Amino acid sequence: MSTGLSTGLIELQNLSKRFGAARRGEGGVVALDGLSLSVPEGCLFGLLGPNGAGKTTTLRILCTLLAPDAGSVHIAGIDALRDPRGVRRLLGYVAQEVAIDKILSGRELLELQGDLYHLERQQRDQRITELIALLGMADWIDRRCGSYSGGMRRRLDLAAGLLHSPKVLVLDEPTVGLDIESRSAIWQVLRQLASSGTTVLLSSHYLEEVDALADQLAIIEGGRVIASGSPTELKAALGGDRVTLRVREFSSESEAERVRSLLEACSGVRQVVVNRAQGFSLNLVIEHDGVIEQLRRQLAEADLPVFALAQSRPSLDDVYLQATGRTLMDAELAVAGSRDAKAERKQSMR
């Protein structure tokens, strides 16, 4: 497999991982089911998927915190399973649950981190100064971590991940639960990093985040990649534009159904859906712009008004819907009740 033909800086092949199976092979929870991923150098790569899809497990395997049951992990040609230390030196990892030492100040935590990566003292201190400026931490870096807000903690953790100027930065849900200001500060840093050549791999269940940031993305569900490419490619591959149509501000169901059968008869129109949640508006896909004119004409002939008509390119949400058959939000809701937080905490404990 690793014959030098692989192109990505990060190459994950056929990873599988099962939890709680007591090493007997059967039963337990399947976290990864033959996941493969290739991340080119200098790319800002997004892993998109609902909670429980296997994102965190993938990242933990990549960061040598977990060993996969099967499959291979290579970073810059180094086999993570054979030479984990070699991989660790290339990686900065920003975990989902920020583990900091409440008693230390932010600066002390960074100094500790620098020593764990064997930076020379002068280099370490200089780097810390740079990162304090970059992430705007000067006002509070000498206060104890216990007093930090969520956004401050996340920035500190990002600084810790960047301290040794890693070739690859791995972030697990970097902006979950953050205020807008911290979120955009982190986005900005990630963009800068990617443009200066660092490979950034982040997981997220925020569509907008991946759409706004990622050069490339993979949609993960059920422990495998179900779609991958650049956001633009993926959206373009869907084809057609999305149209939302309201004949009145609030239509009745029967009127909406009438409009639907009318629209379905038009050529160049696909996937007409009545959206009950939005006052019986209609969602449909059109194949080209000309269809709109035709629609308006048809509606006028049938004596139906047009209250609102919005046209948009396909979004990542549409990509997700197409790939999985449900929206990301539905997927989130489906797993919300079925996860065992306690068991997951245990998994991550050594």
Partner 1 sequence: MTSANPTLNTASAAGSREGSAFAEISQETLALTRRLFVQLARRPSTLVAGVLQPLIWLILFGALFAKAPEGLLPGGLSYGRFLGAGVIVFTAFSGALNAGLPVMFDREFGFLNRLLVAPLRSRSSIVLASVLYITTLSLLQSAAIMGTAAVLGYGWPGAGGLVLVLITLLLLVFAVTALSLGLAFALPGHIELIAVIFVANLPLLFASTALAPLSFMPSWLGWLAALNPLTFAIEPIRAAYGGELSLHAVVLNAPYGQLTSGTCLGVLAALATGLFLAIRPLLDRKLS
Question: Which of 130, 215, 257, 344: binder of partner 1 (CB under 8 A)?
Answer: 130
Q: What are phi and psi of 71, to 5 degrees?
A: 110, 175
Distance CA 187, CA 91 (A): 19
**In the complex, minimum distance from the CB of residue 179 to partner 1, in angstroms, rounded to a whole number:** 23
Q: Identify residues 44-103 at the interface with partner 1 (CB under 8 A).
A: 63-65, 85-86, 88-91, 93, 95, 97, 99-101, 103
Segment interacting with partner 1, rule: CB under 8 A, options 16-24, 159-167, 217-225, 304-312: 159-167
**In the complex, minimum distance from the CB of residue 61 to partner 1, in angstroms, rounded to a whole number:** 12
**In the complex, minimum distance from the CB of residue 43 to partner 1, in angstroms, rounded to a whole number:** 14
Q: What are phi and psi of 45, to 5 degrees?
A: -110, 130
Residue ranges of alpha helices (H) inside the chain are: 55-62, 84-90, 106-116, 121-134, 150-162, 180-195, 207-213, 231-238, 253-264, 290-301, 316-324, 328-336, 341-347
Question: Which of 283, 327, 347, 348: binder of partner 1 (CB under 8 A)?
Answer: 348
Sheet with 168-172: list strands edge to edge.
91-94, 168-172, 199-204, 44-48, 216-221, 224-229
Q: Does 116 bind partner 1 (CB under 8 A)?
A: yes
Segment interacting with partner 1, rule: CB under 8 A, options 26-34, 127-135, 277-285, 291-299: 127-135
Question: Which of 24, 293, 301, 350: binder of partner 1 (CB under 8 A)?
Answer: 350
Q: What are phi and psi of 125, to 5 degrees?
A: -65, -35
**In the complex, minimum distance from the CB of residue 89 to partner 1, in angstroms, rounded to a whole number:** 4
Q: Provide the 3-class DSSP secondary structure of residue 249.
A: coil
Q: Would you say 45 and 199 are in contact if contact means Cβ atoms under 8 Å apart?
A: yes
**In the complex, minimum distance from the CB of residue 218 to partner 1, in angstroms, rounded to a whole number:** 22
Question: Which of 82, 115, 149, 300: binder of partner 1 (CB under 8 A)?
Answer: 115
Distance CA 113, CA 166 (A): 13
- Map tokens 């014959």 to a residue: 3
Q: Does 347 bind partner 1 (CB under 8 A)?
A: no
Q: Identify the sign of the CA torsion 87, 91, 97, 101.
A: positive
**In the complex, minimum distance from the CB of residue 283 to partner 1, in angstroms, rounded to a whole number:** 42
Distance CA 238, CA 210 (A): 18
Closer CB to partner 1, 100 or 292, in the complex = 100
Question: Which of 17, 55, 107, 164: binder of partner 1 (CB under 8 A)?
Answer: 164
Q: Does 125 bind partner 1 (CB under 8 A)?
A: no
Question: Which of 2, 7, 123, 230: binder of partner 1 (CB under 8 A)?
Answer: 123
**In the complex, minimum distance from the CB of residue 135 to partner 1, in angstroms, rounded to a whole number:** 9
Question: Which of 107, 167, 183, 205: binder of partner 1 (CB under 8 A)?
Answer: 167
Q: Does 192 bind partner 1 (CB under 8 A)?
A: yes
Distance CA 37, CA 71 (A): 11
Distance CA 255, CA 277 (A): 15
The Cβ-side half-sphere exposure at 296, using a 13 Å CA radius, reads 9
Q: Which positions touch partner 1 (CB under 8 A)? A: 63-65, 85-86, 88-91, 93, 95, 97, 99-101, 103-104, 108, 111-113, 115-119, 123, 130-131, 133-134, 144, 160, 164-167, 189, 192-193, 196-198, 346, 348-350
